[in-house]
Structure 1
């Protein structure tokens, strides 16, 4: 298993809408993420800065790198573009976070 963490930015005043959209995540997107090897995916909000912190654990052998090129992911990004900081192609502007500490139970 591998874990990735990254930061994205929510537009001010969009926390409720972001949560609403994710509470109603498209079943086909959930399936695509799970089929690509996602084991656990969590997103947290820092309300003071509108920063979204995502932690995603996935299988060692995964298909996550192919998802951005799919029509499904492109549609999701377009759907989310109005409430997040994005690149011109609608993909979320994200910054990879470097691991600094880990505590696990063996």
Structure 2
């Protein structure tokens, strides 16, 4: 199991909408994540900075990367692009974080 973390950026006036959309996460997106080895996925908001911190446990990097190539993921990105910083392909602007400490 690999712990995967990153930062993303939500628009200042869209915090509630971001949460609402994730509270209503599509079943197809949930199944996609599970089928690609993702578990214990959570996203946390640092509202003062409009930052999102995501944490997921993944089985391997290849399965994780393959999610981006699916139609469901591309549809989700298009759905979310109006409320967060996004790249030209609609993927969220994100920065991977390096783990510097873990207590088991």
Change (3 A) 1:47 1:72: same
- Provide the residue aligned with 2:97 in structure 1: 97
- Which SS does the other structure have where 1:73 is aligned? helix
Q: For 1:64-103, what aligned pairs fall within 5 Å after superposition? A: 64-103=64-103
Q: For 1:54-73, what aligned pairs fall within 5 Å after superposition? A: 54-60=54-60, 63-73=63-73
- Provide the residue aligned with 2:24 in structure 1: 24
Q: TM-score, normalising length from structure 1?
A: 0.93
In 2, Cα distance between equivalents of 1:62 and 1:40: 18
- Provide the residue aligned with 2:8 in structure 1: 8
Q: Unpaired segments of 5 or more residues in structure 1?
A: none
What is the total number of aligned residue pairs between the two structures? 104
In 1, Cα distance between equivalents of 2:93 and 2:63: 21
Displacement of 1:62 in angstroms is 5.9
Note the aligned Cα RMSD (angstroms): 1.2
CA deviation string 1:25-66 (max 9, x = no partner):
000100000010012101000011000000110124862211
Q: Unpaired segments of 5 or more residues in structure 2?
A: none
- Provide the residue aligned with 1:43 in structure 2: 43
Displacement of 1:81 in angstroms is 0.1
